[in-house]
Amino acid sequence: MPEESHGEEIKACVVRTPGVEGFEEELIAWCRESMASYKCPRLMEFCDHLPTSATGKILKRELRNAKGPVAGR
């Protein structure tokens, strides 16, 4: 994601598993303890599916244009 002071900000796009609820805090905590601070996403967006091309590749361009975060740290 574009960010004024550093140029870019890390955003995680997470696909929810049907029937699983309330894991957002656990995921944020896992990221904080398992990843280096500069790799840890500051923005998270939860969605039902990721946009893919006809060959099955994830369309990062569309993820970059997606609307704002759902959870952050």
Q: Is the pLDDT reported for residue 73 higher than 50?
A: no
The helix/strand/coil state of 21 is coil
Report pTM.
0.64
Residue ranges making up the domain that contains 16: 2-72
Q: Which pLDDT value is given to residue 53?
A: 94
For the ranges 1-5, 40-44, 52-56, 60-64, the lowest mean pLDDT is seen at 1-5
Residue 41's nearest CA partner among 22, 23, 28 is: 28
How far apart CA 62 and CA 51 sit, in angstroms, is: 7
Give how many domains the chain has, as a whole number.
1
Q: Which pLDDT value is given to residue 6?
A: 66
Q: Which pLDDT value is given to residue 49?
A: 87
- CATH code for the domain of 48: 3.30.300.30
